[in-house]
Amino acid sequence: MTRAGRPGERRKAASGAVQSVDRAVSVLEILARRGEAGVTEIADELGVHRSTAFRLLGVLENRGLVAQAGDRGKYHLGAGVLRLAGAAAVRLDVSQEAVPVCRDLADELGETVNTAVLDEDAAVNIMQARGTAAVTAQDWLGRRTALHATSSGKVFLAHMTPTLREDHLSRPLRRFTEHTVTEASALRAELERVPGQGYATTREELELGLVAVAAPVHAHDGTIAAAISVSGPVFRMPPERVPWLGERTAAAAAELSRRMGYGV
C-alpha cells in the first residue's frame, strides 16, 4: 500500500479538509460581524498564520463569497453570499407558503399533494399534504426523484433553458417501469407541450399504479421556484380526469405564485 493510501494518512487528510472548511466558514462569520477586515485581522482572530488566512480568502474570493474593498487590502462579503442566501430564502418561503395551499388542494381533491424544488438533477419534495382518499399513500417528503419520470420533474425540465434541458436529455435516462419515457425525442416533444398546457403528467412512469400531475410555481421575478403535484392511484385518476386535475393543480400553483409575489 502506498503512503497516500494508508488509513492513517486518509484520516489525516480528511481531518485537514474539515478544518479548512471550518476556518472558511469562520472567515465569512468574521466579515459578517465586522463588515470588513484585513488579512492580518482575520489571521489574528482565527489564530493562524497570515499566509493561511490569505489562502482561505483567495479560495473564497474565487468563489465570489468575499471581495476586496478597492486597494485598501480589506475584504468584505461578496455577491456570492447573497446568491446563496437568496436561494435559501426562496426555499424557506416556498415551504412555508405552500402549507395552506397544499392542504386546501388535498382537501378538495382527496389525493396526495406535494411541493417540490429543483435540486441539481432531481426534484425534492419539501412539503406534503394528504387528502381523505390518500390515508395509505406513500411518504414522498424529502425524497429525491428523477426529473424525467415525475410530473414535478417534467415541469422543471420544461422550463429550463434549452441548453440545460438538452444537457439533461443527453444523459442516459433510467427506466423505472415499462412506461418510463427514456427516449429523448419523445420526452422532448412532451416537454414542449407543458408550458402551453399549464401542467405536466406522468402515468406509471416512476412506480406502477401511480399517476401524477404537476404545475409550476413562479417566484416574484418569474423564475420557477417550485412545482405543486397531485398524485394518486390509476383507478382514481383515469385519463379523462387528468385535464381537470391539471387545471385545479395549476390554479393552486398560481395561488402559491401569488403568495410568492409573482404578478403582484
At 110-169, the pLDDT tens digits run 999 999 999 888 999 988 988 887 655 566 677 889 999 999 999 999 999 999 999 999
Contact 221, 252 (CB under 8 A): no
Mean pLDDT of the chain: 86
Question: With 60 as the cut, is the pLDDT of residue 8 above it?
Answer: no
Kindly state whether residues 141 and 31 are assigned to the same domain: no
Domain enclosing residue 248, as ranges: 85-259
Q: Which of 77, 97, 129 is the last residue of a domain?
A: 77
CATH for 142: 3.30.450.40
Kindly state whether residues 60 and 112 are assigned to the same domain: no
CATH for 18: 1.10.10.10
Kindly state whether residues 143 and 219 are assigned to the same domain: yes
> What's the rounded Cα separation, in Å, for the pair 117 and 13?
34
Q: Which of 13, 48, 77 is the last residue of a domain?
A: 77
Give the pLDDT score at 259.
85
Average pLDDT for 66-89:
72
Domain-embedded: residue 264:
no
pLDDT grade for 78, boundaries at 50, 70 and 90: confident
Domain-embedded: residue 181:
yes
Kindly state whether residues 73 and 120 are assigned to the same domain: no
> Taking the CB of residue 53, how many other CB atoms lie within 10 A of it?
25
Question: With 80 as the cut, is the pLDDT of residue 51 above it?
Answer: yes
| Predicted TM-score of the model (pTM) | 0.66
Share of residues in the chain with pLDDT > 90 (%) = 50
Q: Which of 77, 97, 130 is the last residue of a domain?
A: 77
Question: With 50 as the cut, is the pLDDT of residue 221 above it?
Answer: yes
Kindly state whether residues 125 and 66 are assigned to the same domain: no
Kindly state whether residues 231 and 138 are assigned to the same domain: yes
Kindly state whether residues 159 and 224 are assigned to the same domain: yes
Average pLDDT for 53-57:
88
Q: Count how many domains the chain has.
A: 2
Domain-embedded: residue 241:
yes
CA dihedral 90, 94, 97, 98 (to 10 degrees): 180
Question: With 70 as the cut, is the pLDDT of residue 64 above it?
Answer: yes
Kindly state whether residues 15 and 93 are assigned to the same domain: no
Nearest CA-CA partner of 260 in 224, 233, 230, 235:
224
Which amino acid makes up residue 254? A
Kindly state whether residues 210 and 230 are assigned to the same domain: yes
Kindly state whether residues 96 and 216 are assigned to the same domain: yes
Give the pLDDT score at 16.
57
Nearest CA-CA partner of 95 in 123, 74, 117:
117
Kindly state whether residues 59 and 97 are assigned to the same domain: no
List C-alpha distances in Å: 77 to 24, 45, 249.
12, 17, 41
Kindly state whether residues 97 and 205 are assigned to the same domain: yes
